[in-house]
Structure 1
Amino acid sequence: MSVLPKPDLIVDTIESSVIPERPNDPKHYHYLVFIGRFQPFHSGHKAVIDEALKRAGHVIMLIGSANLPRSLRNPFTVAERSAMIKGAYSAADAARIHCVALDDALYNDTRWLKYVQAGVKSVTGDLQTDIGLIGHSKDSSSYYLSLFPSWASVSVPNYHNLSATPIRDSYLMGAIPTHERTPESTRKVLNDFKQTDSYQLLHEEAGFIDKYKKRWESAPYPPTFMTVDALVVQSGHILLVERRAMPGRGLWALPGGFINPKETLFDACVRELREETLLKVPEPALRGSCHSQHTFDDPYRSARGRTITQAFYFQLKNDIKGLPKVKGGDDAAKAFWLPLAELDAKMMFEDHYAIITKMVGL
């Protein structure tokens, strides 16, 4: 959905005083649900689970941003995050903690709610049992609560104001989190991951982004960037590029880029499309095939900073001669047509998979 998952926590809650007293049931709930990205799992997250284990028979951990490629914002897999979580507890307590992968659904609240319900049901068997939500109260709690009206909520105080973002950022720049901020199980996963090629790629990208942002430090206010992306479909295939440079080197992406100072968004999109794919379609035909456009502005969509993109959806006419020829150019290592059935979220750059599913209706 468009505003979720957030760093550290997805579900915001109301005060725990709303929980009905059950003197004969010290657990209060059969299940408490904790939704977050846990990138990485830290002592603040553990404090929430500690409370949940006191108040429920079972704790369901919905681990967000699943099935995405490793990135600066999402460096750890669901399996790695599950190891951080369960490894922080005894075998008996770990058996009461159920880790479930939760896919993102940026720009589609309804689909995200369906994923949450399905994740909970995969553990409980139904959605009518005694279920509650647990987490930290935040400013937008009333909005999040409205998404789950049938589930009560438990609020837990923020533990030393910990946030996963600075822990993750410093780790990717080379530091190891301290025991005050992370459980031993998290530090073990982080130490093991630091020896891998995947970490080295992210470490290199973190350095690139750090230098990129420093170029804007003297600006009077944080900059907002404007980009365009071209979503081109013909005969059940979508036109993609493989990124040549950081960020996201080697990932699949929609053709696109930054606008020039004196061009419209549509002109910028057509220019970037032709530069990156050398698409063999006459420009008048290409411009005439534009079906729709949409703005994508999730605040966390790009590691480079606040970046808003305008995506244009081109529907090319089917042709018995086949798909138009393409070839990678400019920032693209290669350009290629991919069957829509073979789209893979784990290969897509930033939020491009969400853009495609939103505009094409997959």
Structure 2
Amino acid sequence: MRFDYLVFIGRFQPVHLGHMKVIEAAMQQAGKLIIICGSARQALSPRNPFTQDQREDMLRAALPAEWQDRVFLVGCSDRMYNDQQWVTEVQNLVDKVIAVDTANVGSREAQFRIGVIGSPSRRHTWYLDLFPQWERVEVEDEPDIDASHIRQGLLCDGGKHFADYARKLPAAVYGWLEQFRSGETWQTLADEYRWLQDHKKAWSVAPYPPTFVTVDAVVIHSGHILLVRRRNLPGRGLWALPGGFVNEDEPVRDAAIRELREETRLKVPAPVLAGSIRANRVFDHPRRSLRGRTITHAFLIELTPTGDGLPKVRGGDDADRARWVPLFEFTRMEAQLFEDHFYIVNWFLGQI
């Protein structure tokens, strides 16, 4: 074998024949394959409809029996605003898999031949350039396969045209997805997909694709962060930062304070909130929102303890609930957070 281990990074939403082509090529060149499953802990959405465990179920169902023990799958979080954190996590995951896999080899040091495998198209795999220490193996894309189109077929119009995508999926995966369509999670995702399509249709008459401007407030008080639970689609039921769209007649800072007070009923005067702003940043990842191009201005607000405890809050406007969450608890809430709000908060916490 040319390699001891090959690393295959992807989202597998869902597993399709393009993925299987890469896996087959890896099995021919490496003793073991380490699959890094991205977006492993993000909240479910039409773009990320399957959990990490569900994606592993699909993958295992599609793998031949003789490959099962040669393939490892581990989940990796997204780091939308910090590539180096993401690279470090991938490197650590690969190191841990190899350490566990070779635990019984003995104490001698071993040099393993490691490579990374993926598409030659930089449009989809630019991130492979972030691992120059691993030799790169390129596998041509399987023609006419796009995971976003498969997800669209799964969720659009009740999935009535999903059978058209059977030829792009391993038979076992197609059967798995057919069963998935009968569940409550599928219905929730289909409702959100329909809402998003209606939203985009309403803006289709614009002379050019619209760009939306929003604000978010990252409010910290005595080791707690203030979150709201979304009342409406998209992301109904997910936790989020207080925020919303900017009115045409207000500065972004004023919009952040207005949305904060409307959604949490926080009884702190606006001048005090403005004076408590410690940092701000624009978050503009092109795929941060399924609603379309949405650029948010986020503000870090640190409130000074007064001896009276945490200020009382309650949900209002677009939020059905507001609560102070201990920061240690927040670090485990990635799968419950709307859009990129988990990553926004982590960026600010790194600045405190």
Per the normalisation by structure 1, the TM-score is 0.89
Indicate the SS of the match to 2:76: strand
Give the superposition deviation at 1:122: 2.2
* Residue 59 (structure 2) pairs with residue 85 (structure 1): yes
- Residue 86 of structure 2 corresponds to residue 112 of structure 1: yes
Deviation at 1:189, TM superposition (A): 2.2
Number of the residue aligned with 2:105: none
Write the letter of the residue equivalent to 1:328. Answer: G
How far, CA to CA, are the matches of 2:128 and 2:178 in structure 1? 37
Give the deviation of 1:279 after TM superposition. Answer: 0.5
Q: What SS is found at the alignment partner of 2:62? A: coil
The residue that corresponds to 1:131 in the other structure is 114
Among 141, 162, 166, the alignment partner of 1:158 is 141
Amino acid at match of 1:229: D
Residue in 2 that maps onto 1:310: 297
Which AA in structure 1 matches 2:140? P
Q: Secondary structure at the match of 1:257?
A: strand
Structure-2 separation of matches of 1:160 and 1:218: 32
Name the aligned partner's letter for residue 134 of structure 1: I
The partner residue of 2:227 within 221, 236, 240 is 240
| Offset at residue 128 of structure 1 (A) | 4.9
Which residue number in structure 2 is paired with residue 144 of structure 1?
A: 127
CA, structure 1 residues 139+90, in 2 after alignment: closer, same or farther (shift >3 Å)?
closer
Gaps of 5+ in 2: 103-109
1:95 partner SS:
helix
Contact 1:255 1:276 survives alignment (8 Å): yes
The alignment covers a number of residue pairs equal to 336
The alignment status of 1:329 with 2:316, answered yes or no, reads: yes
Taking the aligned partners of 1:261 and 1:142, their CA distance within structure 2 comes to 38
For the structure 1 residues 145 and 168, does the alpha-carbon distance in structure 2 shift closer, same or farther, using more than 3 Å as the test?
closer
Change (3 A) 1:202 1:108: same
Judging by fraction of residues, say which structure has more helix: 2
* Deviation digits for residues 280-334 of structure 1 (CA, Å, limit 9, x no counterpart): 1111111100000011111111111111111000000012111111111110001
Between the aligned partners of 1:142 and 1:67, the Cα distance in structure 2 is 21
Q: Distance in 1 between matches of 2:246 and 2:2?
A: 55
Which of residues 264, 267, 271 is equivalent to 2:251? 264
- 1:22 aligns with none
Which amino acid letter does the alignment assign opposite residue 110 of structure 1? Q
Quote how far apart the aligned CAs of 1:204 are: 0.6
Amino acid at match of 1:131: I
Q: 1:143 to 1:128 in 2, by over 3 A?
A: farther
1:280 paired to 2:242: no
SS at match of 1:87: helix
Distance 1:336 1:83 in 2: 35
In 1, the alpha carbon distance for the partners of 2:336 and 2:124 equals 33
User: What is the aligned-residue RMSD (CA, Å)?
Assistant: 1.7
Structure 1 residue 161, shift from structure 2 partner: 3.5
**Counterpart residue number, 1:170:** 153
Deviation at 1:140, TM superposition (A): 5.8
Who is 1:347 aligned against? Answer: 336
Alpha-carbon spacing, 1:214–1:142, altered in 2? closer, same or farther (3 Å): closer
Distance in 1, Cα, partners of 2:20 & 2:267 = 55
Letter of the structure 2 residue corresponding to residue 303 of structure 1: L
> Which letter maps to 1:167?
I
Q: Secondary structure at the match of 1:53?
A: helix
The aligned amino acid for 2:134 is W
CA contact (8 A) 2:116 2:128 kept: no
Kept after mapping to 2: 8 A contact 1:86/1:97? no
TM-score scaled by length of structure 2: 0.92
1:238–1:338 CA contact under 8 A, matched in 2: yes
Tell me by how many angstroms 1:269 deviates.
0.6
Distance (whole Å) between structure 2 residues aligned to residue 51 and residue 181 of structure 1: 18
2:7 maps to which of 23, 27, 33 = 33
Q: Compute the displacement of 1:193 (Å).
A: 1.6
- Are the equivalent residues in 1 in contact too, given 2:119–2:125 (CA < 8 A)? no
| Residue matched to 1:188 | 175
- Give SS of 2:44's match: coil
